Structure 1
């Protein structure tokens, strides 16, 4: 029994699957028939051939034919035939006009328009000419031509030329594939005009005394209201009503009926479809009551019932598909978000691939020197010796005796001689030459050749070292770039679940406090790095952004959030866009004082104050070797490199190694620069000091002064160096004083200079950073009797706890 039941279930499932396949196949066939084979164009052309306004003006069919010729020429002639067929259902003279004007238009295109560049413009002109000529010929054959007729024909031709420009905006959306993700506003208007023109072709057609054009008009308005809301629904209603009223004064009531239906239906669109149709029935009832002498109320309500039924039978998938192309709809926003998510994922994947590539390149440069083999320190010496012996021992008769029979004696003596010559040790050179003379008959020639080859040996050694250092530098840089790109990719693909929950909570919270939220975007909700953007509508803005919304966000995200930026068109009313970010637990205020040697314009000292992200800050002083323009260029170049590398996101120690490598490899001149660098964390207040040949710094806390020092050679002296950071905790009210070497080295007295500066800092009563910097510089100059004998720079930074203007409060009442 169970087996039979399973077989029955499988059979039912197979039938359902086949039915689904059949429905999908039917949809595909209908789609291909309507769009790929042009049947939809033919249907539209037929009804546009019937469309007449103001009793005799019919510009629609020729304009649509011109559009078909430009956009889809293979469908142009059948489109023309269907337009003529539609015109025949109206009158023979009307069909003659469409036939004759269409032939003239196609002839003009073949003989002239297709050869010019701006085809659309000249196609509109050709349409104008075709309409005027066709109308004049038909009128001349069927009757007399008067001035009024000529004016009417020119007006009709002008409308036809204008409609070419309108229909060409609508034509891409009659194809199987739309060219872009959403419509522009002007394209929406053009599509509504085309739809209205097609509706005028239904005038005179009815089923059981129910007018098809009125049913179609109601259907389009209800659809527009449900998709885009009251504004678009009422606008579409006005446009369709005006067009129908041009056909006959009988349709004047359609303007008010359709506009009201679009307004009421759009207001009810957030409820459901049934509520939108209720808006249509209310409009039909109200307008029918006041126009009962024009159209029976029962007939109007029946037409509304048919339009509502068609609307209810419209598949939800079709409505959603149309809504995706209309700006401002929820479906369009969702489609854009999905598209952006796909772009974000694809970009993150590509960035990860690049990160892996840079990491592989970094490893290849890191191991290219060793190649898996240990390096031989004597390889350079052996190469040097080979060049010396090639020009001395190769032609000697005792070569076999020295290098084969007595190798252990010959090689050490020559090696020691080379080392003595390289070290310029005369006594050892003479001693080793004496040992060499005991068995070498060309000792003087060998020593002379060693001295000659020494310069080549040193140059080769230096070149190899520079190549090695360059490879190491490139490896470190590639590895740093790989890390930055990898971190960037991880940020891009960060899971959205937590973001979605927070977004819903923010929407709920603002709705509970009666804020009209227009747009919300969460860029980051990471602790200490919150970045939220929202647009809120206000009728009378009184600072609610910082007074209410920021504290509410602070309560939700469990950290203090403040308004970082605020933009609005109107001061009190309308939309306002806020950018909220994490408040820095601590904030900095800085002051700097500097003076050039002997009062010159250019100082060899340079300083930098750089914000890194939302919670880190970098302070730096660089002192170029010497004074004047050359020292200024060296120190400023060092800080410029530091700024660019740090802003790229590379680790600070890797940045310093990179700068050192660049400066040491860039030139052989002895141009060096000191660097006093401090990184301050504003969330958990502490400073990491990196001092490369720099002077001692000081932290003033109340009446106490603490020195901070570290010993490293200036940047550019050594090709390899290690920087040991010094970490110091900071507190509210601390003053961080950084000075260049000119402050300490220009003092002219016997007292310990560092102790003197420490005492002067302790004696300063003010806590203003700029005042402290000015006082330190002034005391230093006074101690040297007013002379400035070196470049001096003082950089003072005060650390203060942030105190937001508006504090957060809990939205949940405590029990």
Structure 2
């Protein structure tokens, strides 16, 4: 059974491929269209379709022009109207002659084609009238001008519509102009079927209604009624008796599009109802039966149409589900390609990081090799010309080597050899002992410099490896974010809109980008609120009740005029918030302080507090500390881990500094979801945490930034609680209380005695206390940053909505 199905599928696929080759590649479809357009006549004697179609094919697919000429002449000849056949033949000849002159004059056929068709049709019609009637009357001139003008317009229409038929696949949606042009082309084809009757039923009527059914089913009421109007109008021009068809086709297309949700049955019922109403009103009861039968045949053909054809056509009509899915598939493909490229770059940076990391694999061998190189350099200056060289290095190699390495290691620590037993033994072993020891001592400085240089190179490579690894992780996370598909949340959007509107608020549009717990992202458009704060006071509390978590307004763009809309951006509120207060003073009361500070709320739900103290005072120290803070901000915003960020800042400063100006850095990273904190203190004094009457001190030992290229950053972690106070300060504070024997104990006592919990008041009180201690003198730049961790309590209470839907949300990763 499965084999027979697979064989049938292969057979259908092969037949479809052969049909596509015959219709598109070999031009059979264009031949059929040409044949029907050769038959098409409007206003009893005007043939405006043949020459424009030939011109469009000649411009787009010149190799098909001979076949189209045969199709047009065959179609005209099938009507037994030799006058139209002669006009088409004469028109094609005139077209080719004029095109030859245009080609010789180097004019562009793209711009001149409509004018060329107009001139061809005008000259061909006038020449034929002159040959047959021996004279030209005013009606001949008017008819020729009308036909030429129609031909010029139809040329533009055919140029846009032929590619729709001839192209096998399209990647973009059809424009409105292309849709209308395509409909006009199909309608003009139907005029070629006028007069075809089978068992008393008009093929023209059946095909026109079938065309309306297809487009109403694919594009809805707007497209269906448009196809009905255009098709009915063109058929009415070809046959005045079919004028009532325009009303019926337009009305049927409208009804069919409105009943599109009923699938093919609903669209078919729309045509039958439209036919029944218009036929009774326009043609009378005697024409009701043939009209209903023609509509029924059209509906039967519509039911027999494979769904693959309608689905394929729907992909090119904007506004359809198939078109939206096609666009989504295209965007998904672009997204996957982009994510793969980012992932490749991430792997590249990871590989580069690994290549820099594999530095110390052969560290021991390298150290031994360096000793050997050093001793060989010493022996070149001492032992090379010694008569006891053979005895020392051939017969007693191990003993001589051990003596010299021992002397080398002794002189590494001191400038002269203090191990007298080693010196005595070496004097007995070597006749040039003093000279060898002097040479080793002199060469030791070069040896130390060489080792220091190699160590700096290894440390620099390690820094680069850490930075590349950090970039790789950021790019890897970015690739994962790209690959996350936006959920199809249209139903939830409608439910939220209905729930809010049920409370009497008008909402224009709701767009949900994420409903993950702790990472809600909703955009909304509302009518101009006039600054009343409806989003913060009403809509956010309603969303909080619907989504069962605190929702706040992240951003609000108010309308400038009454007829515009306000844009509101809602997101999840953090469980904790941080309030800060800052107090600073420059040395001697100057304007410029060498300290810099910053409070940064990062996008990952973290809050960073940083203080940097440039070495010294004044403008240069201020510039150094400011650059340190700014560089740290940019690196942290990129998503790189804070430890790697500090090492990167340190490496930049150490490479940049040509004089000894360094910076300290005191960084605290607070997670706003659980209030956990990390402290990274680089050459800075301790920080303090006040929890009730208890004061804790946070300290670590790290050198200031920029002194050495590489150092291990000691990270101190602490779990903060709601109500905790974090006090961070620069080392100028301790300089301000240098007369106090134990400044840490004194600071803890002052913090414990604080009677307020407001950060700004605390910063001002501590600063004032420090300045008073030194009787108003300010001997160094001083900065104090106080942060208070609080539970995030919404300003507005949740507004319950009893008809609100319940959403099952995922936790944010």
Instruction: Give yes or no for the alignment of 1:333 onto 2:321.
Output: no
Q: Classify the secondary structure of the residue corresponding to 1:529.
A: coil
Distance 1:687 1:37, change over 3 A: same
Q: Distance in 2 between matches of 1:573 and 1:273?
A: 41
Give the stretch that moved more between structures: 612-621 or 37-46.
612-621
Which residue pairs with 1:581 in the alignment? 571
Q: Distance in 2 between matches of 1:641 and 1:224?
A: 60
Q: Classify the secondary structure of the residue corresponding to 1:270.
A: helix
Q: Classify the secondary structure of the residue corresponding to 1:750.
A: coil
Q: Map of 1:34-113 to 2, 5 A cutoff?
A: 34-90=23-79, 91-109=81-99, 112-113=102-103
Which residue pairs with 2:809 in the alignment? none
Distance 1:752 1:445, change over 3 A: closer
Deviation at 1:39, TM superposition (A): 0.7
Distance 1:54 1:751, change over 3 A: farther
Instruction: Give yes or no for the alignment of 1:267 onto 2:258.
Output: yes
Q: Distance in 2 between matches of 1:478 and 1:123?
A: 59
Which residue pairs with 2:154 in the alignment? 163
Which residue pairs with 1:395 in the alignment? 385
Q: TM-score, normalised by structure 1?
A: 0.85
Deviation at 1:166, TM superposition (A): 2.6
Picking from 660, 682, 685, the partner of 1:670 is 660
Q: Distance in 2 between matches of 1:704 and 1:799?
A: 16
Q: Distance in 1 between matches of 2:70 and 2:314?
A: 33
Q: Classify the secondary structure of the residue corresponding to 1:26.
A: helix
Deviation at 1:278, TM superposition (A): 1.6
Give the stretch that moved more between structures: 452-461 or 410-419.
410-419
Which residue pairs with 1:738 in the alignment? 728
Q: Distance in 2 between matches of 1:678 and 1:334?
A: 47
Give the stretch that moved more between structures: 380-389 or 441-450.
441-450
Q: Distance in 2 between matches of 1:592 and 1:315?
A: 73
Give the stretch that moved more between structures: 697-706 or 604-613.
697-706
Q: Distance in 1 between matches of 2:317 and 2:552?
A: 35
Contact 1:288 1:295 in 2 (8 A): no
Q: Aligned pair count?
A: 799
Q: TM-score, normalised by structure 2?
A: 0.85
Which residue pairs with 1:692 in the alignment? 682
The superposition leaves residues 206-238 of structure 1 with CA deviations (integer Å, 9 ceiling, x where unpaired) of 334443333333222222221122222223323
Q: Distance in 2 between matches of 1:406 and 1:19?
A: 91
Picking from 300, 316, 320, the partner of 2:291 is 300
Which residue pairs with 2:215 in the alignment? 224
The superposition leaves residues 469-490 of structure 1 with CA deviations (integer Å, 9 ceiling, x where unpaired) of 1332233233333433444444
Q: Classify the secondary structure of the residue corresponding to 2:521.
A: strand
Distance 1:204 1:611, change over 3 A: farther
Give the stretch that moved more between structures: 118-127 or 701-710.
701-710
The superposition leaves residues 536-582 of structure 1 with CA deviations (integer Å, 9 ceiling, x where unpaired) of 99999999977887667656655334454567989899998765432
Aligned CA-pair RMSD: 4.1
The superposition leaves residues 48-96 of structure 1 with CA deviations (integer Å, 9 ceiling, x where unpaired) of 2233444554433222222222322221211122122223345323222
Q: Distance in 2 between matches of 1:279 and 1:518?
A: 32
Picking from 520, 545, 568, the partner of 1:530 is 520
Distance 1:803 1:77, change over 3 A: farther
Q: Distance in 2 between matches of 1:777 and 1:151?
A: 97
Distance 1:346 1:535, change over 3 A: farther
Which residue pairs with 2:614 in the alignment? 624
Distance 1:483 1:59, change over 3 A: same
Contact 1:616 1:680 in 2 (8 A): yes
Q: Distance in 1 between matches of 2:768 and 2:320?
A: 66
Q: Map of 1:115-264 to 2, 5 A cutoff?
A: 119-143=109-133, 144-146=135-137, 149-150=140-141, 152-264=143-255
Which residue pairs with 2:303 in the alignment? 312
Unaligned stretches of 5+ in structure 2? 806-813
Q: Distance in 2 between matches of 1:76 and 1:777?
A: 91
Q: Map of 1:506-525 to 2, 5 A cutoff?
A: 523-525=513-515
Deviation at 1:685, TM superposition (A): 1.9
Q: Map of 1:422-437 to 2, 5 A cutoff?
A: 422-423=412-413, 425-426=415-416, 428=418
Deviation at 1:323, TM superposition (A): 0.8
Instruction: Give yes or no for the alignment of 1:459 onto 2:446.
Output: no
Contact 2:161 2:185 in 1 (8 A): yes
Q: Distance in 2 between matches of 1:534 and 1:270?
A: 28
Picking from 313, 332, 339, the partner of 1:322 is 313
Distance 1:459 1:83, change over 3 A: farther
Contact 2:582 2:760 in 1 (8 A): yes
Q: Map of 1:314-713 to 2, 5 A cutoff?
A: 314-349=305-340, 351-371=342-362, 374-375=364-365, 377-407=367-397, 410-415=400-405, 417-419=407-409, 422-423=412-413, 425-426=415-416, 428=418, 440=430, 442=432, 446=436, 449-450=439-440, 453-492=443-482, 523-532=513-522, 554=544, 558-565=548-555, 579-598=569-588, 602-665=592-655, 669-701=659-691, 706-713=696-703
Deviation at 1:43, TM superposition (A): 1.0
Q: Distance in 2 between matches of 1:23 and 1:540?
A: 63
Distance 1:367 1:87, change over 3 A: same
Deviation at 1:807, TM superposition (A): 1.9
Give the stretch that moved more between structures: 170-179 or 259-268.
170-179
Deviation at 1:42, TM superposition (A): 0.9
Q: Distance in 1 between matches of 2:449 and 2:496?
A: 73
Unaligned stretches of 5+ in structure 1? 1-9
